[in-house]
A and B are shown apart, each in its own frame.
Chain A
Amino acid sequence: MKPRLVVIGNGMAGVRTVEELLKLDPDGYRITVFGAEPHGNYNRILLSPVLAGEKRFEDIVTHDRAWYARHGIALQAGNPVVGIDRARRVVVAQDGHEIAYDRLLIATGSRPFVIPVPGHRLPGVIAFRDIHDVETMLAAARSHRHAVVIGGGLLGLEAANGLLRQGMSVSVVHVNDRLMERQLDQPAARLLKAALEKRGMRFLLEANTAEIVGDHRVTAVRFQDGSEIAADLVVMAVGIRPNVDLAKAAGLHVERAIVVDDTLQTATDPRIYAVGECVQHRKSVYGLVAPLWEQARVCAAHLAGLGHRRYGGSVTATRLKVTGIDLYSAGDFIGGPDTEDLLLRDPGRGVYKRLVLKDNRIVGVVLYGEVSDGPWYFELMQAGRDIGPLRQRLLFGRAYCESQAA
């Protein structure tokens, strides 16, 4: 009898881990995947293009039901797990079924954070997390005019762009003095704001939302200074929170998220693994896709009994998926007293580049307008390469540096 693997979460992290596992050991487990959403697996990152009307849902589906069937995986879509009984090694599904496991993989991801201001439960107030949210927004765009996006981060701007493309009048409300402050320094943020403004997006920076106004449906957003703007749709995109309720209830050690070691095993129970946004590894919690791929590879190797891989944490890079705006950011792009900067500004071409160096190594990258070298800088940063010999040429890009070296 093959051991049983139960996966909680039919998202990118969980399914990628299964996929990696199948590559290593196609017949090692009997696998069951539980998912809250009633679909196969889709690429959540591409929700923005769907919202923007650039892609259809079918385009972003990565694993349809046939895939699960082909690999002998039992898929429980739309039937989330509601409990874990570690003593009995079973999970309890919403429909009451219990399924036993030899190994359990928690990939519950995260859920959007909704600011608990008055009115946050009004109809017309939504987050931007899944295809259902996208469908809600698309519907609103067809019948309503004013959209307010709360949150000027990556997700908020992508939502705002999508709504704009759907013909809505969009205002972005942001508590900080610059957009994407976790990814951009002030000059790049300014360029971004100007570019989005040119497309018709409006911005309210340093604005604190006090209340969402409306009787049956949202009608306006009110700020702490008393001012108001009209709103038929409010998208909350102020951040995400790891989805750790199940793990907590099961008595696993949870800080900000489920604590795992370098093999993605939970700190509490060696039969239980966790990957993705619900995981806390070496104090870090990730909300981007690249760390997730790495975690999946390591975790799969362990599940396959090949204990040779270790996950050492990720340095993350960000890009904004807004067509026509190229933006790339990674690492410590703000810098400090012991860092150095390399800067290139060409506003005429809409280009801004900044590398933050420390001890002759790249520790941060901000690219705007011309981002093709971002991954190379990221590579150099991750490799911790001494860029001393390249310093004078570095900012002019990989192709130039390599043509000079040749």
Chain B
Amino acid sequence: MDGSNQDDVPSVATTCPYCGTGCGVRATVRGTAVTVAGDVAHPTNYGRLCVKGAALGETVSTTGRLRHPMRRTANGLERLPWPDALDAVADGFRQIIERHGPDSVAWYVSGQLLTEDYYVANKLVKGFVGTANIDTNSRLCMSSAVAGHKRAFGEDIVPVSYADLEEADLVVLVGSNTAWCHPILFQRLLKAREQRPSMKLVVIDPRRTATSEMADLHLPVRPGTDVWLFNGLLSYLHQHGVIDTGFIEAHTQGFARTLAIADNTAGDLRSVAAACKLDPGVLTAFCQLFASSERVITAFSMGVNQSSSGTDKVNSIINCHLATGRIGKPGAGPFSITGQPNAMGGREVGGLSNMLAAHLELDVPAHRARVQAFWQSPRIADKPGLKAVDLFEAIDEGKVRAVWIMATNPVVSLPDADRVRRALAKCELVVVSDVMADTDTTAYAHLLLPAQGWGEKDGTVTNSERCISRQRAFLPPVGQARPDWWALSEVARRWGHGEQFPYRSAHEIFDEHARLTADGNHDDALPRYLNLGGLAGLDRTDYDRLPPTRWPVLSDTLGEPARVFADGRYYTADRRARFVPTRPQPPAGRLDEDYPLVLNTGRVRDQWHTMTRTGLSPRLATHVAEPFVDLHPQDALLSGVREHELARVSSAHGSCVVRVRLSGDLPRKSVFVPIHWNSQFASDARVGRLVNPVVDPVSGEPEFKHTPVRVEPFSVAWHGFALLRDDPAAGRDPRPHAAWWTRITGDGYTRYELAGRRVDGDWPAQARRLLGVSDPDADWLEYEDPTAGVFRAVQVVDGRIHACLFASPRPDLPSRAWLSSLFGKAQLDAADRVGLLIGEPLARGADTGATVCSCFGVGRKTIEAAIRGGCTTPAALGAQLKCGTNCGSCVPELKGIIAELRARQTAT
């Protein structure tokens, strides 16, 4: 890690922990401050970073971290030493397994684990517990893509790289707000188009987004109708002779039946346009563009995957590429863009309940035998385990009695999230490994294990284009945080498997993983495209120096491996790709009178997942501060909700209360709620509670993008906001006094957006309770319009703003910006103080100077201006400004000012 900084503090090259783009960053530590910059040497981003990545330094604070293993007792959480905690985990799981069998326990892990952690978890569960009950939040993210890849290619292979995107003539983005969710990738795309304007960008998304704004063509499809669209495209391509029959005959199977179904269901563009609610002209333009672009990439994300027919959607896209032979060539192919930093690494180690390991299959005896032999494990899972949604259902039903949750927050992120909460509440043993002490999920843990955060842990991640990058530690672990692989290995050791889990560092695990990918990996045995054989045997130093590397990395070939599928060979038994017939299915949830709108969920630009990290950054809080529901103005009207007010969004499963936004980005009948907010940041904004627990039958991925809901006004007596200087000792908390709240991290202060059903007593008293000001002599300013219900109060301590509260019956409160900025000021000046209750600075021109004429409130600066303008007597001033014309007591002063100015003029 060479230091390239001017001031010789060495920086550490590592990988951003957010989306699946996988940007390289360089972290520099100076004292307690961490600064982060893009890594110019990283082939993903070449030094660029998005706003989330750039703010990483603000999120590595130790605030709120889980520092010690903890156990929940009748008296709350108590600390305990690691060995005792690990004993408790090992004993707890062992007892339940002994009584109820291996399928009575489960692991729920995360695309934020490093590959090494993932590998050890998967090995422990499948090879030593003997169950496949290990699933991951990647199930919520790209399992439909995995299933689609496996059905079409025989293996989970992403056949496109970022460089291909830049070489394409047409990029079709389906269900992907790339501009916000993968900003650096999107920037690369835009730059490529800028340099080569013939390149076209098509966006298929029901919403108007930052991405669609940049598109050459936007297809605002009806939610959930992608299969109609791509079947229609396939049929169109066939009708217009754009099919590569040679390729189809030589390298695929199943085209005829697939085409027949496409023709039957979407053989006519007019009916497709109707089904998808598209302008037929726009649809035709898209089909023509696709047909005429040899180099076409169809990139897709959650809009495709998170669906009850997500796998079919993926295959309907792949079908179009197979039919035209536009795969395995530069600038062409289907491209799944993932949302987590290491979803891909998890897939490589097999960390999902329907995988085994290293792209080997659970249901193939030969695969099981090979893996068991490699692991030297006493047993091996032989049937798929429970997928995420089913897993928590099984907990709720008492079939699974112990769960170890690692690096994820299912109480927020899973569908029907209240059921998840209920399930955890009654589960016999809940172990949670996390970096944060207080999350919606840790609240249900019996045992809490402190995990290392980004910047502390060490290992590898794989991004969306199969590029393996190192995450390197640059900070000491907080408290007693340890690697997850270590905790898992320690439990394995307690179960008597110490020999098979002898790891002392991440590189040993990576080495074992690499060897497993190469194990039997040749045409005569178990050929897989995933092969890290060339990385096996790295020593610690080589591992530490590992540059970003796209797999496969073969041990026996020199240089770059050939482009995947360039040879037309796939990883099915007959090495041919499969067309998968896709019969369009509408989304599972049907709209009715009670639930007349479709809920779509997704990200906002500056937050990530459940905000456990991005929620710590003041900078990131400024873009979108509050959870919201965005809807069409006409639907808002019909629902009786108004912009900026609060609304309850309810489904048959649950509800949330969020701010109404009418951005104009949504079509009729659709509403959008972001996924990020949870009980740590808002009173009632976990959108997961609403989402219907409907899953794709193949992938098990939930339908996050389509839940029937209704929107209703959430009536409150007052809206307000409070800003409180951060002061842990004060323990002030306005939340208990509000019916609704959102907490927003500020720089040195915390902001609360509040709303309440009533005012207890009068506002001055309520405000003091809310801000925790009990001292009657506090320096306390207030403004009150009691009949209008408007109230404002500010507390000043030592000449600095300490707290403030603004409330009104309507959400017409002043901007928070200026008040917030005052928390950074060492001392309020007189002008600041005057502005406090206004909530904004008095305008510069508002300063008329010291009052000279009190009767008419005329200031010295105004008078001086009038004198310069030609008023040379008090009478003239009085005629113009009225000063001195009432009591006359200022006339001498007026004379004095006139004389003074005259003297000054003569002097100059």
Binding site for B on A (CB under 8 A): 43, 45-46, 49, 59, 62, 289-290, 293, 319, 321, 326, 328, 340-349, 371-376, 391-393, 395-400, 402-403
Q: Which residue of A lies closest to B808 (CB)?
A: A392
Ranked 4 nearest A-B pairs via Cβ: A399-B846, A403-B843, A372-B857, A348-B779
CB contact under 8 A between A348 and B780, given known A59-B892, A289-B886, A399-B846: yes
A240 → chain B, closest Cβ, in Å?
A: 17
Could you say which residues of chain A place their CB within 8 Å of the CB of B786? 340-341, 343
Q: Mark B758-787, 1 if CB is under 8 A from A, else 0.
A: 000000000000000000000111111111
Q: How far is the CA of A49 from the CA of B846 in the complex (A)?
A: 30
CB contact under 8 A between A391 and B783, given known A59-B892, A372-B859: no
Q: Is B790 an interface residue (CB 8 A)?
A: yes
**Set B782, B790, B854, B886: member contacting A392, Cβ < 8 A:** B790
**Set A348, A371, A396: member contacting B857, Cβ < 8 A:** A371
Q: Is B880 an interface residue (CB 8 A)?
A: no
Q: How far is the CA of A372 from the CA of B837 in the complex (A)?
A: 18
Could you say which residues of chain A place their CB within 8 Å of the CB of B796? 348
What are 21 A-to-B residue pairs whose CB atoms are below 8 Å? A46-B889, A341-B784, A341-B786, A343-B782, A343-B783, A343-B785, A343-B786, A345-B784, A346-B837, A349-B781, A371-B854, A371-B857, A372-B854, A372-B859, A398-B857, A399-B843, A399-B845, A400-B843, A403-B843, A403-B845, A403-B846
Q: Mark B37-65, 1 if CB is under 8 A from A, else 0.
A: 00000000000000000000000000000
Q: How far is the CA of A396 from the CA of B781 in the complex (A)?
A: 13
Q: How far is the CA of A64 from the CA of B857 in the complex (A)?
A: 29
**Cβ A344 vs Cβ B887 within 8 A:** no
Q: How far is the CA of A341 from the CA of B846 in the complex (A)?
A: 25
**Cβ B785 vs Cβ A326 within 8 A:** no
Q: How far is the CA of A374 from the CA of B854 in the complex (A)?
A: 8
Q: Is B901 an interface residue (CB 8 A)?
A: no
Q: How far is the CA of A402 from the CA of B887 in the complex (A)?
A: 26
**Cβ A340 vs Cβ B855 within 8 A:** no
**Cβ B787 vs Cβ A341 within 8 A:** yes
Q: Is B888 an interface residue (CB 8 A)?
A: yes
Could you say which residues of chain B place their CB within 8 Å of the CB of A343? 782-786
Q: Which residue of B lies closest to A357 (CB)?
A: B787
Q: Is B475 an interface residue (CB 8 A)?
A: no
Could you say which residues of chain A place their CB within 8 Å of the CB of B882? 375
Q: How far is the CA of A392 from the CA of B812 in the complex (A)?
A: 10
**Cβ B857 vs Cβ A400 within 8 A:** no
Could you say which residues of chain B place their CB within 8 Å of the CB of A290? 886
Q: How far is the CA of A243 from the CA of B693 in the complex (A)?
A: 91
Q: Which residue of A lies closest to B794 (CB)?
A: A346
Q: Which residue of A lies closest to B830 (CB)?
A: A349
**Cβ A400 vs Cβ B838 within 8 A:** yes
CB contact under 8 A between A319 and B784, given known A46-B887, A49-B889: no
Q: Is B292 an interface residue (CB 8 A)?
A: no
B165 → chain A, closest Cβ, in Å?
A: 49
Q: Is B401 an interface residue (CB 8 A)?
A: no
Could you say which residues of chain A place their CB within 8 Å of the CB of B457? none
Q: How far is the CA of A45 from the CA of B886 in the complex (A)?
A: 10
Q: How far is the CA of A341 from the CA of B763 in the complex (A)?
A: 14
Could you say which residues of chain A place their CB within 8 Å of the CB of B845? 399, 403
Q: Is B676 an interface residue (CB 8 A)?
A: no
Q: How far is the CA of A349 from the CA of B856 in the complex (A)?
A: 22
Could you say which residues of chain A place their CB within 8 Å of the CB of B889? 43, 45-46, 49, 321
**Cβ A347 vs Cβ B838 within 8 A:** no
Q: How far is the CA of A349 from the CA of B851 in the complex (A)?
A: 17
Q: Is B788 an interface residue (CB 8 A)?
A: yes
Q: How far is the CA of A375 from the CA of B842 in the complex (A)?
A: 19
B779, B782, B785, B859 — most chain A CB neighbours (10 Å): B785
Number of interface residues of B (CB under 8 A): 34
Q: How far is the CA of A143 from the CA of B783 in the complex (A)?
A: 48
**Cβ B787 vs Cβ A375 within 8 A:** no
Q: Which residue of B lies closest to A372 (CB)?
A: B857
Binding site for A on B (CB under 8 A): 779-788, 790, 796, 812, 833, 837-838, 842-843, 845-848, 851, 854-857, 859, 882, 886-889, 892
A314 → chain B, closest Cβ, in Å?
A: 12
CB contact under 8 A between A340 and B788, given known A49-B889, A290-B886, A346-B781: yes
B836 → chain A, closest Cβ, in Å?
A: 8
**Cβ A341 vs Cβ B854 within 8 A:** no
B331 → chain A, closest Cβ, in Å?
A: 56
Could you say which residues of chain B place their CB within 8 Å of the CB of A399? 842-843, 845-848
Q: Which residue of A lies closest to B888 (CB)?
A: A43
Could you say which residues of chain B place their CB within 8 Å of the CB of A46? 887-889
Q: Which residue of A lies closest to B850 (CB)?
A: A372
CB contact under 8 A between A375 and B783, given known A348-B796, A399-B842: no
Could you say which residues of chain A place their CB within 8 Å of the CB of B892? 59
Q: How far is the CA of A397 from the CA of B856 in the complex (A)?
A: 13
Q: How far is the CA of A321 from the CA of B843 in the complex (A)?
A: 30
Q: How far is the CA of A251 from the CA of B857 in the complex (A)?
A: 44
A176 → chain B, closest Cβ, in Å?
A: 25
**Cβ A391 vs Cβ B785 within 8 A:** yes
Q: Which residue of B lies closest to A376 (CB)?
A: B857
**Cβ A45 vs Cβ B887 within 8 A:** yes
**Set A328, A346, A400: member contacting B842, Cβ < 8 A:** A400
Could you say which residues of chain A place their CB within 8 Å of the CB of B780? 345, 347-348
A291 → chain B, closest Cβ, in Å?
A: 11
**Cβ B886 vs Cβ A391 within 8 A:** no
CB contact under 8 A between A349 and B833, given known A341-B784, A400-B843: yes
**Cβ A326 vs Cβ B854 within 8 A:** yes
CB contact under 8 A between A372 and B851, given known A342-B785, A395-B783: yes
Could you say which residues of chain A place their CB within 8 Å of the CB of B846? 397, 399-400, 402-403
Q: Which residue of A lies closest to B785 (CB)?
A: A342
B744 → chain A, closest Cβ, in Å?
A: 24
Q: Which residue of A lies closest to B851 (CB)?
A: A372
Q: How far is the CA of A374 from the CA of B858 in the complex (A)?
A: 11
Q: Which residue of B lies closest to A379 (CB)?
A: B856
Q: How far is the CA of A344 from the CA of B834 in the complex (A)?
A: 11
CB contact under 8 A between A375 and B838, given known A43-B888, A341-B787, A403-B843: no
A323 → chain B, closest Cβ, in Å?
A: 10
Q: How far is the CA of A347 from the CA of B848 in the complex (A)?
A: 23
Q: How far is the CA of A293 from the CA of B851 in the complex (A)?
A: 23
Q: How far is the CA of A346 from the CA of B886 in the complex (A)?
A: 29
Q: Which residue of A lies closest to B859 (CB)?
A: A372
Could you say which residues of chain A place their CB within 8 Å of the CB of B837? 344, 346, 396
Q: How far is the CA of A402 from the CA of B846 in the complex (A)?
A: 9
Q: How far is the CA of A96 from the CA of B595 in the complex (A)?
A: 101
**Cβ A340 vs Cβ B843 within 8 A:** no
CB contact under 8 A between A375 and B782, given known A45-B889, A399-B842: no
Q: How far is the CA of A357 from the CA of B328 in the complex (A)?
A: 77
Could you say which residues of chain A place their CB within 8 Å of the CB of B782? 343-346
Could you say which residues of chain B place their CB within 8 Å of the CB of A396? 837-838, 842
Q: Which residue of A lies closest to B786 (CB)?
A: A341
Q: How far is the CA of A397 from the CA of B783 in the complex (A)?
A: 13
Q: How far is the CA of A373 from the CA of B842 in the complex (A)?
A: 14
Q: How far is the CA of A347 from the CA of B764 in the complex (A)?
A: 14
B452 → chain A, closest Cβ, in Å?
A: 48
| Extra 13 A-B pairs, beta carbons < 8 Å, given A45-B889, A348-B796, A392-B812 | A59-B892, A326-B854, A344-B782, A345-B782, A347-B779, A348-B781, A371-B851, A372-B859, A374-B854, A392-B790, A399-B847, A400-B842, A403-B842
Could you say which residues of chain A place their CB within 8 Å of the CB of B784? 341-345
